[in-house]
Structure 1
């Protein structure tokens, strides 16, 4: 496939994420071309993006640091990953997809998120078909509840903007390595 490019795009108006929080105080969306031989659906793409193989080592270190700090403020920490339940079907949300609960789903999109005292966030993982091209789109929106939420997100925002594209690139690279073209 060559170099993997992730591009920041406007919030996709056809996404479940639009309207999932009101008001939206912060939002971003990133798009990447999926490999031509990737025939998986949104569940597989979400698993790739939230897999340990996609997590840059610097992001894992920052997550551990974050957990140590936010515990003092009574905020939720990120725990070990959970797997979706076997009984969840395409029209039912699985209870969790890695760290974040699945809130809603369609055949092409999963909406994940958490609500906390300081802020709520939603992450959408979407597959968009555009003729011969297939795109993976990851959208994040945040609603702040108070000053703590705004203060918390201030240092998180620039890290988030680096981390999401890095994770997307690493996820596709890991998939391509495990699924070389022609095999």
Structure 2
């Protein structure tokens, strides 16, 4: 059903994207006949998400700054620039990989677009590798929010461009 976000079994080469990842999940949404590339799908998801997500990100940045963790937009320049706070690491029309490495954890988001003129779908896969106790604690705390945020952001992809 177009616009319905559902959790799916991840279908990526986790070893190549983020070797040693301890967390991986994926969500998929059908976009119908709307033809998107991976960058447009990611842009709709990240830049046009619900406002409450922006508030959560601002709160997260305030809470993690004392621990020396990266906040939005920090870090080395990305080869593909930034989409929101996500540095783009690699990109083709069908796949965009974004993310960064931090002292507590490393993460990647993978936006895959598949289908044809009759119907297209977008899959968001998240991979996380924790580096220490702080990373494991952080991952445990954010996982319930991550699933809610991912579903909400994915719902924006099927909407017409703004």
Q: TM-score range by the shorter chain?
A: 0.7 to 0.9
Matches within 5 A, 1:7-22: 7-13=6-12, 18-22=15-19
Does residue 25 in structure 1 map to residue 11 in structure 2? Answer: no
Q: Give the match's secondary structure for 1:34.
A: strand
TM-score by length of 2: 0.88
State the match for 2:82 in structure 1.
Answer: 96
Return structure 1 stretches of 4+ with deviation > 6 angstroms. Answer: none
State the match for 1:136 in structure 2.
Answer: 122
State the match for 1:71 in structure 2.
Answer: 65
Q: Provide, for residues 83-125 of structure 1, a one-character-per-residue CA deviation record: whole Å limited to 9, x for no partner.
A: x9xxxxxxxx523222111111223000001100000000001
Matches within 5 A, 1:102-121: 102-121=88-107
Q: Which protein shows a greater Rg?
A: 1
Greater fraction strand: 2
Structure 1 stretch displaced more, 42-51 or 137-146: 42-51
How far off its partner does 1:130 sit? 6.2
How far off its partner does 1:138 sit? 0.5
> Gapped runs of 5+ residues in structure 2?
none
RMSD over equivalenced CA pairs, Å:
2.2
> Gapped runs of 5+ residues in structure 1?
85-92, 179-183
Measure the CA separation in 2 of the matches of 1:136 and 1:112.
15
Aligned length: 159
